[in-house]
Structure 1
Amino acid sequence: MRIAIDAMGGDLGPRASVSGAASAVMADPGLEIRLFGPAARLEDEMSRLPRPLAAASSHLSIENAPGVVRQDQRPAQALRHGGDTSMAAMLGCLARGEADAGVSAGNTGALMALSRRALGTVGGVPRPAISTAIPTHREGRCYLLDLGANVEAEAPRLVDFALMGEAMARHLDGLSRPRVALLNVGVEGTKGPASVQRADEALRRLPAVNYTGFVEGDGIFAGEADVVVCDGFVGNAVLKASEGLAKMLVRRVQATFEAHWTSRLVGLLARPALGRLRRELDPVRYNGASLLGLDGIVIKSHGGADARGFHFAIARAAEEVRHGLPGRLAAELEQRRSAADSAVADDRLDSGSRIRAAAGMEPGGDATSQQE
């Protein structure tokens, strides 16, 4: 399996990406990884790999790409002037069919813009969405999308997200009918912004989707749905808040057991259980977000990911390759989006009828004629 990596995108530079790539190869020897970035820097990092990871060097190759997309660079600038960057070179390799998936920890907006230009989208999806899995209390996982690619999303885009997330849950997790929900400020049908209300009406008209209605924020972690849909502003805020909460809980638990000699003794006895809790809550385990809707597999790693986190992002890419996710999405979305578009259109007509009825009007008439 061939994975192309933008080795320069993360906050920690190429050290994290090179070490993470080597670690991923040690865990999955079937991987062949191409690292894109300034050749001299990548060769230096390769030479610094510790002995256990150095054995993976035969599965790693370096492709010189002297430019780097900065974290503060605007997507338009990356599109105009980023042709020599490690990110663009990685995506070009993927677009030419020389790799099965790409991974980057770089600028999210630039990665989305360059990916759309290099790969295009599938199933008539106008804009991809970012999705990742987050843990639930039932030792399962829930797919949350969008996480920032679409800060504001109207009803048709939310329906697209629901269709893509539902397909991902079926194919990656083997769920026959994943439960799909819209994130809202309450479960009552009258709550939420107009876009969420319209998406709710449209999804209820799609019998092929196991749509369960609205879910509140706490329902995500309670495992009330397998796919939770929202716009990118809300999704990103939920994700970052949950990561911060998980880290805080782990630190608080650790500090509690270290506060007194008696609690330290209890902590020694509870160490195996505490270790499991730390691993389950560790956001690093869930690093790697899919850019769903592209005609190819692109995984966005957290910008601050260390080598271990980058390893998990590569593993996420390999998982999607094994399941052939873009091809499955393309086949299903072509069929389902026509029904979804009709549902959204029907909802707009119904909304128009309700507005006219409230104004005392009917189609083809006006308020005066209706009163007469």
Structure 2
Amino acid sequence: MIKIAIDAMGGDFAPDEIVKGVEIARDRYPELEFQLFGTADKVRPLIQNDDRITLIPTTEEIEMGEEPVKAMKNKQDSSLVRAAQAVKEGSADALFSAGNTGAILSSAIFIVGRIKGVDRPALASAIPSFGGPNDSFVFMDLGANAENKPSHLYQYGILGSFYAQSVMGIKDPRVRLLNNGGEEDKGDETHKEAHQLMKQATAFNFLGNVESREILEGTADVVVADGFSGNAALKAMEGTALTMMDQLKDSIKLTGFRGILGALLLKPALRSLKHKMDFNEQGGAVVLGVKAPVVKTHGSAKANAVANTMGQIEKMVQEDLVGKTTAFIKENADSLKAKKIEK
């Protein structure tokens, strides 16, 4: 059995939607067990069936707006910290939360622990693709690090390729660097130097720069970005998707009866488009570069998104993504060090 430690109090709709999602996942994935860390009197009444679900009572919660490292240090009995400790101690195989992103990253790095040889763990997510040979691509870093060195971006190419191959089943993933132009001399010094490092890489298949307007077109299987740019681009895409769907609804209503009739005929296609444009359906964002799977889903995630993320975690553990990444980093430690560029 694979045991997942769950921060039941993290997220906009916690603990209700978290518990509902866990019960959906329990019925869907027979090889998973769930450890729910949370306030007992809030979580216990929500559990309809405790088969393969264990409640571990905690007394504190880390709120969305709290300063991450301070909250992690001061709230040792919080649901997130206790869940991370369970992974560190080996009583759970993976960590899940929909809570404070900074606190999750801090818990992943300082409690679960960084893989030796990885300079900066990164936040990665599968994003839907609207072209190319695959349905989605890996996008990282999405905000774990606001600033990066060229060597960090180079390592993200390695980590992203491993994830694309091991979890998403993409053979020889195409890696591109997010930049403000396709030419290799574009961008600031960090991105110019990163491009040269990645261009010479033998550890992954680098195809050059990509502009933000192209990344949804299936031009890459792994898109590497510094944390600031990656987070900004992701939120812009999410906001655009939501706005376009809302505008489409409003436009249909304004056309009157004929527009509504047409929408009814197109309903299956529109539902399929909405499903694909919902980034939560792709699963959670993964902290790559730490010693166990740590996955964070959107703060507004509902039960189905939580359940989908449990399946994602199951595959990560079954494929031994962390073990394979650790082995590769260890085997290639000398070449990775040689490629670092210190400013």
CA contact (8 A) 1:66 1:85 kept: yes
- Equivalent-residue separation in structure 2 for 1:283 and 1:189 (angstroms): 30
**What is the match of residue 311 of structure 2?**
315
Cα distance in 2 for partners of 1:58, 1:76 equals 35
Please, which of 202, 207, 222 is the counterpart of residue 207 of structure 1?
Answer: 202
Equivalent of residue 229 in structure 1, options 224, 229, 233: 224
Q: Which runs of 5+ in 1 are unaligned?
A: 47-53, 352-372
User: Who is 2:103 aligned against?
Assistant: 110
2: distance between equivalents of 1:35 and 1:41?
A: 12
- Bigger CA drift: 232-241 or 246-255? 246-255
Pair 273,142 (structure 1): closer, same or farther in 2 beyond 3 Å: same
Which is greater in Rg?
1
Matched residue, 1:26 = 27
Distance between the aligned counterparts of 2:167 and 2:86, measured in 1? 25
Taking only aligned residues, the RMSD between alpha carbons, in angstroms, comes to 1.7
Gaps of 5+ in 2: none
Query: Aligned equivalents of 2:83 and 2:153: distance in 1?
Result: 29
Match of 1:368 in 2: none
In the alignment, which residue of structure 2 is the partner of 1:238?
A: 233
Match of 2:37 in 1: 36
* CA deviation vs aligned residue, 1:201-241 (integer Å, no higher than 9, x gap): 11122223211110001221011111011111111111111
Amino acid at match of 2:146: V
Q: Which residue of 2 aligns with 1:302?
A: 298
Contact 2:141 2:156 (C-alpha < 8 Å) held by counterparts: yes
Alpha-carbon distance, 1:309 to partner:
2.1
Q: 1:236-315 alignment to 2 at 5 Å? A: 236-259=231-254, 260-315=256-311
Mapping of 1:1-372 within 5 angstroms? 1-46=2-47, 54=48, 56-138=49-131, 140-259=135-254, 260-345=256-341
| Greater alpha carbon shift after TM alignment, 134-143 vs 155-164 | 134-143
Return 228-237 or 306-315, whichever deviates more: 306-315
TM-superposed deviation, 1:337: 4.4
Q: Which amino acid aligns with 1:230?
A: A
Could you list the runs of 4 or more consecutive aligned residues of structure 1 that deviate by over 6 angstroms after TM superposition? none
Is residue 160–residue 337 contact of structure 1 (8 Å, CA) maintained in 2? no
Aligned equivalents of 1:263 and 1:338: distance in 2? Answer: 63
Counterpart of 1:199 in structure 2: which amino acid? A
Counterpart CA distance in 2 for 1:105 and 1:67 is: 16
Greater mean deviation of Cα atoms: 74-83 or 97-106: 74-83
Aligned residues: 339
Deviations 1:83-138 (A, max 9, x none): 11100110111112111211011111111112222221124113210000101113
- Paired-residue identity, %: 33
**Partners of 1:258 and 1:42 in 2: how far apart?**
41
Query: Structure 2: how far apart are the matches of 1:333 and 1:257?
Result: 53
Code of the aligned partner of 1:107: N
What is the identity, as a one-letter code, of the residue corresponding to 2:65?
Answer: D
- Go from structure 1 to structure 2 and tell me whether the alpha carbon gap of 1:101 and 1:148 turns closer, same or farther (over 3 Å shift): same
TM-score by length of 2: 0.94
Deviations 1:187-209 (A, max 9, x none): 11221011111111111222232
Whichever residue aligns with residue 18 of structure 2, its letter is S
Answer whether contact 1:205 1:343 (CA < 8 A) is retained: no
Alignment partners' CA distance in 1, 2:283 and 2:169: 21
- For 1:279 and 1:322, locate their aligned partners in 2 and report how far apart those are by CA, in whole Å: 27
| Deviation of the 1:251 alpha carbon | 2.0
314-323 or 5-14, which deviates more: 314-323
More off after superposition, 294-303 vs 93-102? 93-102
Alpha carbons 1:16, 1:307 under 8 Å: kept = yes
Amino acid at match of 2:284: G
When normalised by structure 1's length, the TM-score is: 0.87
Q: Distance in 2 between matches of 1:155 and 1:307?
A: 39
* 1:158/1:229 contact within 8 Å kept: yes
Conservation of the 8 A alpha-carbon contact between 2:101 and 2:296? yes
2:280–2:297 CA contact under 8 A, matched in 1: no
CA contact (8 A) 2:5 2:83 kept: yes
Cα 1:170–1:337 shift into 2, 3 Å: farther
Could you tell me how far 1:44 is from its partner in structure 2? 2.1
Matched-pair contact (CA < 8 Å) for 2:158–2:203: no
What is the CA-CA distance between 1:246 and the residue it aligns to? 1.4
Partner-residue secondary structure (3-state), 1:33: strand
Q: Distance in 2 between matches of 1:116 and 1:344?
A: 21
